[in-house]
Structure 1
Amino acid sequence: MRRQLRPTDVKRLNRTWRRSTGNRLALILESVTGPFNVGSIFRSAAAFGVDTIWLAGNATPPTNPKAGKTALGTERLVTWHDAMPATEAVKAARDDGYTVLAIELTSDALPLHKADLARNVCLVVGSEDHGCSPALLDAADGVCYIPQVGRVGSFNVSVAAAIALAEARRQEWQNLPDS
């Protein structure tokens, strides 16, 4: 009979995945203002082992009480930096050894599954209304998009961040031996 894992079993399973993970992940949140989106992104970031989050533009900090309702304390598990201009955030990520890839719909964007995410990568998501700014897109090392087949033009920013983080880890783990 199938049973849910107990907390001790979950910790053991997560420890096994952590030991199989060597690539560093980071995020830049450019002008993501919805506190529930910010909280959700921090929670996904903590789950996927993101090292650093740079806030850029007028991004809402995770200290916002509404962000905290969704983050559930996970903002303590990820290093984050107060908002700065987007190009400075890109430079900081690059100086820290990351390749910076924006998640955005542009004419030269690669489908997410074709982008090389199995390395130290900093993914960028932009504002809920307008996405990434032109200055950030020019500063980034590349751009990818999440393929969609439905009739909706885009994902919620927190969902897009989670999908991109999951794909980065999937690419890193795809050649691991079965456990």
Structure 2
Amino acid sequence: MSEFVFRRCQNSACGLRYPAPADDPRGAACPRCGGVTVVVATAAGGAETGAAAQGRARNEPRIAALIDNVRSLYNVGSFLRTADGAGLTMLHLCGITPTPANPKLGKTALGAEEAVAWRYHADAVRAAALLQQQGQIIVALETTPGAVSLFDCPGLDHAVLVVGNERAGIDPGILELADLCVAIPMAGVKRSLNVATAFGIAAYALTAG
């Protein structure tokens, strides 16, 4: 990972403080006014220490995910980064979901596409049924009448978290065969989250046991 520094513009009328790659001279000019800047701090991110390093050593539940017809490259890139961070065992990419074979995906996955195991399936319902036959617990993240709170979900192992299309949601065929439907409680006016945000919450909740 590239080292970053924080710079501050010396123009008193601007004063912008911003991060920039330490090895890129183009970052020395203020992106707001073009003025001279100075380095005021070095970014601390990137080192795997403390809780992050310990997390990899924990005996976490084995959780995979099935992505049902998610169209956005941005969302799929986010899934890959979350899967890597949460320690998911496999991503099953289905239907129109972009795969790491798409060179544009690397711009959003930021290298996670090379670290996460994945498989492509043309039919998400068939893929879910096959995984269920193999003993996997199908957990659909969808707001349905019978859904239970994600945070009341019992500890699961050998489970497959399913998320669906940004607008249509999860295929009804998967909802019919799912062993469990879970939803994220919403306290505000809006009743749903972006699918990548919801996936991140659920992935960490399930892998935490």
Query: How many residue pairs were aligned?
Result: 167
- Per-residue CA deviation, residues 48-102 of structure 1 (Å, 9 max, x unaligned), is 0011111122212133233221101101111111132112221343345421100
Q: Structure 2 residue aligned with 1:33, among 43, 57, 71?
A: 71
Map 1:105-116; keep pairs closer than 5 Å.
105-116=143-154
Contact 1:55 1:89 in 2 (8 A): no
Q: Structure 1 residue aligned with 2:185, among 147, 158, 161?
A: 147
Contact 1:38 1:62 in 2 (8 A): no
For structure 2, the residue ranges without an aligned partner over 5 or more in a row are 1-42
Query: Which secondary structure does the structure 2 equivalent of 1:50 belong to?
Result: coil
Q: Structure 2 residue aligned with 1:53, among 91, 99, 108?
A: 91
The answer for the alignment partner of 1:18 in structure 2 is: 56
1:16 Cα deviation after fit? 2.2
Q: What is the distance in 2 between the residues matched to 1:11 and 1:64? A: 33
Contact 2:125 2:171 in 1 (8 A): no
Identify the structure with bigger relative contact order (alpha carbons < 8 Å, sequence gap 6+). 1
Map 1:27-176; keep pairs closer than 5 Å.
27-170=65-208, 172=209
User: Which amino acid in the other structure matches residue 44 of structure 1?
Assistant: T
More helix by share: 1
Query: Which secondary structure does the structure 2 equivalent of 1:23 belong to?
Result: coil
Identity %: 32
- Residues 126 and 6 of structure 1: CA distance in aligned 2, closer, same or farther (over 3 Å): closer
Contact 1:35 1:62 in 2 (8 A): no
Contact 2:141 2:183 in 1 (8 A): yes
- Per-residue CA deviation, residues 123-177 of structure 1 (Å, 9 max, x unaligned), is 000000111011111121110001011111211111111000111133x2xxxxx
Contact 2:70 2:76 in 1 (8 A): yes
Contact 1:59 1:83 in 2 (8 A): no
The answer for the alignment partner of 2:29 in structure 1 is: none
Question: 65-74 vs 87-96, which deviates more?
Answer: 87-96
Contact 1:58 1:83 in 2 (8 A): no
Q: What is the distance in 1 between the residues matched to 2:125 and 2:52? A: 35
What is the TM-score when the length of structure 1 is the normalising length? 0.84
Two-structure CA RMSD over aligned residues (Å): 2.0
- Residues 49 and 108 of structure 1: CA distance in aligned 2, closer, same or farther (over 3 Å): same
Contact 1:37 1:67 in 2 (8 A): no
Question: 38-47 vs 18-27, which deviates more?
Answer: 18-27
Q: What is the distance in 2 between the residues matched to 1:22 and 1:169? A: 6
Q: What is the distance in 2 between the residues matched to 1:18 and 1:50? A: 11
- Residues 67 and 15 of structure 1: CA distance in aligned 2, closer, same or farther (over 3 Å): same
